[in-house]
Amino acid sequence: MRMSFSKTIKHVFFSCIILALILATHSVKAQKIKDKVNQNDINWLLDRYKYQDIRGGTTKGLDVELDESTSRYFQELQDMQSDKKSQDRLAILSMVGEYRVSFEFIETFGSKRDYKLDNPYQSWGTEMVIVLKDEPNYISLQHIMMMYFRDDKGTTTGPYIQKHWRQDWTYEDSKILNYINNNTWDLIDIVDYENTWSQSVYQVDDSPRYESYGRWLHSEAGSRWISKPTPRPLPRREFSVRDDYSLLNGLNKITVMPWGWIMEELNEKIIFPNKYLGSEFGVARYQRISNYDFSPAHDYWNDTKEYWSIVRETWSEILSRKRVCLLGEVEGKPLYLYKFNFAEDYKNDPDNKKAHKNVYETVSKFTTSNC
């Protein structure tokens, strides 16, 4: 049974709201400068939010309670009795849980003398991270957002649930998915992969973003993973407002701790093929929360997980090719809308044969190897 037209529109609207996590930011009172600022006209770079407007909206959510307990994975990791690879696995699994997430990005400097620095960016969300697969050499973690919004009158709406990004970790991965430019990826061989873990990051619709690799370093109270330099496409927060550069070349550092984890990004903005434009620094903070009922998100996942498994299998086959190009839109719609709409259909009519056909046909329209 397919959704009615009105329900489909409603779902697309809610999907756009959630995907606009980019636009759902904390309110900042001292907003003074709405435009970019010349880097020569200011003395300090990292506290510009004090006098420069924050990009995004002013959406507010429910208050949360921070969890004072520590995940069992991190507790096991702190015992430090296991071998190095087992410690690595426990560090990755320590990212599983329920979180309040804050995203902050600030452009730090530009290559031109009078480069104009973009407005700082802040956004937030509440989401859970669950295990899709846990194998000796492979761990897959799925992020699922579940958000409530509160207006100025105190009225709360929600929950709004959205499948978010995915991260796959592979031990001693000898082939890395490499972003070239213009939504084009290929596979490259690496030689220094001994004792490393690759992290593959996928979009909300399970299409690729980037992959890198690095080694975990463990110590008391924290474990860190630092990536190799990684080219990647512009995120939505950038391509929705800018077209003056082609890709990011970034270093990622992930740190897991008793209270949650942080992902730091040091990104260079590159005009293809190799012209440097400027740099930005970003922090994504995942704070463990408690007494926050994520059961609607679990229900959504239980109703659609078989569909998303079919999506992942299809992408796995496509990404095994030497080169893959991804179109931005087909018939005026991005890929994620096709996926989310069919996921809603699947909840009402879980037909795997129909889902296989839909996923294959849809992804085929958006991809080509002749690029």
φ, ψ at 6 (rounded to 5°): -65, -40
Residue 253: which pLDDT band, with cuts at 50, 70 and 90? very high
Residue 3 has pLDDT above 50, yes or no: no
**Residue-level pLDDT at 152:** 86
**Residue-level pLDDT at 32:** 58
**Residue-level pLDDT at 58:** 65
**Residue-level pLDDT at 204:** 97
Which contiguous run of DSSP H or E holds residue 129? strand 121-135
Class of residue 274 by CB neighbours under 10 A (exposed 0-12, middle 13-18, buried 19+): exposed
Q: Which position has the token pair 């992969």?
A: 193
Average pLDDT over residues 12-37: 51
**Residue-level pLDDT at 16:** 52
- Three-state DSSP at 199 gives strand
Tokens of 78: 């702190």
Distance of CA 366 to the CA centre of its chain: 21
- Angle subtended at Cα 263 by Cα 26 and Cα 18, rounded to the nearest 5 degrees: 45
**Residue-level pLDDT at 90:** 97
Global pTM exceeds 0.85: yes
Residue of higher predicted confidence among 34 and 237: 237
- Helices of type H across the chain: 5-19, 72-79, 84-93, 236-239, 295-319, 335-348, 352-366
Tens digits of residue pLDDT in 294-348: 999 999 999 999 999 999 999 999 999 889 999 999 999 999 999 999 999 999 9
Neighbours of 85 (CB within 10 A): 15
**Residue-level pLDDT at 173:** 98
Residue 8 has pLDDT above 80, yes or no: no
Among the ranges given (7-16, 55-64, 346-355), the one the predictor scored with the smallest mean pLDDT: 7-16
Residue 21 has pLDDT above 90, yes or no: no
Q: How far is CA 177 from CA 127, 202, 368, in A?
A: 27, 11, 16
Average pLDDT over residues 39-59: 83
Neighbours of 278 (CB within 10 A): 21
- Which of 60, 245, 35, 79 lies closest to 158, judged by CA? 60
Average pLDDT over residues 245-259: 98
Q: Is the peptide bond before 120 cis (omega within 30 degrees of 0)?
A: no
Residue 57: which pLDDT band, with cuts at 50, 70 and 90? low
**Residue-level pLDDT at 370:** 80
